[in-house]
Structure 1
């Protein structure tokens, strides 16, 4: 059943959502919801709100694991057949059973129909630490958002998002991220503002037919965690927004992950014949997108040249792809390097005939722009060093039309960042409509690109200063799920 997950992240239909546009949702098989396990007892201390009609919004407990796992396996099913997806159930069980490093049962919300004793809507909040130019940023990630088709259009998801946003604020999380369906999460204050996947699809005929002399590929083991961490940390320096991953996380990936979870990835080490590790990559343990071996992460050790380790990895992916194709009775299409649009491996493969894949995007939410800017002020100050604005004195007013922020610099240091309200008399230096500022803040779009996309983006003055503070730069997010 796993190949049906191929199109989940870029699905064009809001399948599990209760605020979807009327007429655009393909009907799910309601009979698949029949006979699901009952929810655990609705204890008074867990109830957040009585929603009426027998519906209770409450926090989950360990007694709800099987009910929520079964519910999610159905509500997250893909078109056109909507078969219950058991690998989702395995993932939910691990998120809730206490064995996952960043999530517990209490991190899930349920809408419990007390008349049928069923879970009819649910979502969870995973807690991460991301990094903005290396600065740790506490982050929340809503995940596994879904509602039974008979309960949609009642704003159940909207109510749950209000609650998890409150949780996130209580946890001191300055940022929320979602990997989700098109448009939907904009309703809750999110903007697509960081690159998601994309990369290069290298057809099987373009993959090396022979191994690279002196190099081989083996399965990673727990003892490789320090090496993997070093490679990953080194590679993340090229990006604006990244996920922090320590040795404990990699050990979880290697030996703690439920083998049947949709999140399972196989980690591999490229090493010399003498056993010296040179690079690390991972791959999904099944073929996706009609026969492709997908690699979402690939990093080399500092100082290692990329061409040979890329060819060693591609030869391995050719071999493992043929084996997976034989097991699943498919044709092996090739290797999908979903590493974003700017990665050393893709530079090595430039001109070799691969097919670029346009990236999707992560949804980002910053409820308190002033607080976030204060938190990452050292990164903004560092961008002035070596630029024409080194030692800059002055102010910069960024308008969001109904609100804004003012940044005050003294000798290149941010002495004050404060809320500011634009007016007819003072429109500010740059006016950024809607949530387009998040594209600028996270390097997803340049100021000129935003102005080209939004005619009401007004650049009144200080364009060069804004471009120095907020240059375009890709991000790479691979959060623990």
Structure 2
């Protein structure tokens, strides 16, 4: 298996920040201190029961477990050398944690239509309260995390976390998970007819299933309605099927279940599902093997019944081991809900009908996106943009599409963008800046003097507020959405608007990112 987390920048690098502070990359030996910092920094992040007034909560054990897994050396998203740290050398030999700020950089597989990509994700960022407001996170991102991500070829960086905070580093909300729906009581699912056996059964996936699972993770099988999203690669499957289980230490390590669907009559594998349990029973992904030509009408309810039965068994075992009577009483082993976090157009919704609540009429979990180099991103996804153009009424187009972003801002290196097409092929893309009208007149007169008017390309001109091109690129918003939401958004003529809609259509995104 290819190591997608190999370092692109030197891991021996140390940056002196002054006053005893140094910035460096991690090793496994830093795990304990990173866990302590994360636990202390996120103690106020609520995952469980409400906070008790007047009481400082304990360290966040859930995220401490996450930090340990990230630095385990077997994580799917990063290796043990991919945490950027700020260390206070003056704290060495004392009872204080020497690690005072940290940011990890994950790498995940993604797709843009027919094009496969890698995205970087800064994650589990923390700063000791005594060291906040010193710009340490900015230094970690700008001097270590972003350069590393770009050097290894990540097309963008995306980040969850504190609302609004990461805008100052050039991030813009431009990714979003599906909104979850709920089967409020799993007992409402149709029962298996008396005397019958399930026509499709479940088995836990093994390492031998990885090639099959990677094949079924392709967009065409798993999420055909999403032109943009994250892809479950071999690293994901190896980690969630095997490695995660191997490094579990306590109840804060909650693994995912990866199920293979088996045709009981033929013994053939026919699909898969990803089921999570961290915050109740939830189906994160569910797909059929297209080569088997099966109907969801036949497969869905047998699969859901067995997922529910497995959850019931797990909850009963947990309840029997719980010594606190009140805590045991709170564990519901019958009639619990099941969440579905799958595309709103998935056939499961039509088959479930009123048994499931409609997909939420609001965004799911929103994430911020940074794309520092628009020309490089466009070059990477050129095959998909050419495919979209070829299928459109503007197939064979020649001309230049020019975007004016008004000014250069943190998070992107250009004031504008020019994309040139010749006979439907993307032949050039570059940073661009609008020049003075007087210079336009001068250039035109020079061309006319040379008798080359017929070589003047057709121009398609538009303007966008800084960084909102991120929303167009990811499909999180349409051009029309941006026209209504940002007064800076404009276009020269109807042909320009049509071209933008063809190249950058709005679409749902497949985003499942918290499996680490």
Give the aligned partner of residue 167 of structure 1: 148
* Alignment equivalent of 2:430, drawn from 410, 418, 431: 418
SS of the aligned residue for 1:162 comes to: helix
Question: 1:262 Cα deviation (Å)?
Answer: 4.9
The answer on whether the counterparts of 2:349 and 2:356 sit within 8 Å (CA) in structure 1 is no
Give me the whole-angstrom Cα distance separating, in 2, the residues matched to 1:87 and 1:296: 20
**TM-score in terms of structure 1 length:** 0.82
Q: Does 1:113 align with 2:88?
A: yes
Q: After superposition, where does 1:132-281 map in structure 2 within 5 Å?
A: 132-163=112-143, 164-204=145-185, 207-211=188-192, 213-233=198-218, 234-247=221-234, 249-257=236-244, 258-259=247-248, 262=253, 264-274=255-265, 275-281=267-273
**Structure 1 residues 74, 338: closer, same or farther in 2, change over 3 A?**
farther
**Structure 1 residues 227, 56: closer, same or farther in 2, change over 3 A?**
same
Give the aligned partner of residue 324 of structure 2: none
Flag the structure with larger Rg: 2
Give the aligned partner of residue 3 of structure 2: none
Question: 1:76 Cα deviation (Å)?
Answer: 2.9
* Alignment equivalent of 1:467, drawn from 498, 501, 504: 501
Question: 1:87 Cα deviation (Å)?
Answer: 4.0
Give the aligned partner of residue 372 of structure 2: 367
**Structure 1 residues 308, 48: closer, same or farther in 2, change over 3 A?**
farther
Cα deviations across residues 409-451 of structure 1 (Å, max 9, x unaligned)?
1110011112111256489722111221111111111111121
SS of the aligned residue for 1:158 comes to: helix
The answer on whether the counterparts of 2:225 and 2:345 sit within 8 Å (CA) in structure 1 is no
Give me the whole-angstrom Cα distance separating, in 1, the residues matched to 2:475 and 2:191: 40
Give the aligned partner of residue 6 of structure 1: none
Cα deviations across residues 35-79 of structure 1 (Å, max 9, x unaligned)?
xxxxxxxxx955313243x33222222221211123223323323
Deviates more, 1:201-210 or 1:455-464: 201-210
Q: Does 1:299 align with 2:287?
A: yes
**Structure 1 residues 360, 423: closer, same or farther in 2, change over 3 A?**
farther
**TM-score in terms of structure 2 length:** 0.77
**Structure 1 residues 435, 143: closer, same or farther in 2, change over 3 A?**
same
Give the aligned partner of residue 129 of structure 1: 109
Deviates more, 1:151-160 or 1:69-78: 69-78
Give the aligned partner of residue 444 of structure 2: none
Give the aligned partner of residue 464 of structure 2: 432
What do you get for the CA RMSD once the two structures are aligned?
Answer: 2.6
Question: 1:395 Cα deviation (Å)?
Answer: 1.5
The answer on whether the counterparts of 1:270 and 1:312 sit within 8 Å (CA) in structure 2 is no
The answer on whether the counterparts of 1:271 and 1:277 sit within 8 Å (CA) in structure 2 is yes
**Structure 1 residues 392, 190: closer, same or farther in 2, change over 3 A?**
same
**Structure 1 residues 467, 156: closer, same or farther in 2, change over 3 A?**
same
Q: After superposition, where does 1:387-406 map in structure 2 within 5 Å?
A: 387-402=392-407, 403-406=415-418
Give me the whole-angstrom Cα distance separating, in 1, the residues matched to 2:391 and 2:77: 39
Give the aligned partner of residue 312 of structure 1: 302
Give me the whole-angstrom Cα distance separating, in 1, the residues matched to 2:373 and 2:189: 49
SS of the aligned residue for 2:308 comes to: helix
Give me the whole-angstrom Cα distance separating, in 1, the residues matched to 2:461 and 2:353: 40
Give the aligned partner of residue 12 of structure 1: none
Give me the whole-angstrom Cα distance separating, in 2, the residues matched to 1:48 and 1:304: 57
Give the aligned partner of residue 27 of structure 1: none
**Structure 1 residues 356, 155: closer, same or farther in 2, change over 3 A?**
same
Give the aligned partner of residue 88 of structure 1: 63
**Unaligned stretches of 5+ in structure 1?**
1-43
Give the aligned partner of residue 447 of structure 2: none
Give the aligned partner of residue 14 of structure 1: none
Give me the whole-angstrom Cα distance separating, in 1, the residues matched to 2:299 and 2:159: 32
The answer on whether the counterparts of 1:217 and 1:312 sit within 8 Å (CA) in structure 2 is no
Deviates more, 1:137-146 or 1:417-426: 417-426
SS of the aligned residue for 1:396 comes to: strand
* Alignment equivalent of 1:346, drawn from 338, 345, 349: 349
Give the aligned partner of residue 61 of structure 1: 27
**Structure 1 residues 452, 168: closer, same or farther in 2, change over 3 A?**
same
**Structure 1 residues 367, 159: closer, same or farther in 2, change over 3 A?**
same
Question: 1:278 Cα deviation (Å)?
Answer: 2.4
Give me the whole-angstrom Cα distance separating, in 1, the residues matched to 2:462 and 2:350: 35
Cα deviations across residues 191-218 of structure 1 (Å, max 9, x unaligned)?
1112224131111157414248412223
Give me the whole-angstrom Cα distance separating, in 2, the residues matched to 1:352 and 1:129: 34
Give the aligned partner of residue 482 of structure 2: 450
Question: 1:324 Cα deviation (Å)?
Answer: 4.8
SS of the aligned residue for 1:440 comes to: helix
**Structure 1 residues 188, 342: closer, same or farther in 2, change over 3 A?**
farther
Give me the whole-angstrom Cα distance separating, in 2, the residues matched to 1:207 and 1:389: 50
Question: 1:88 Cα deviation (Å)?
Answer: 3.0
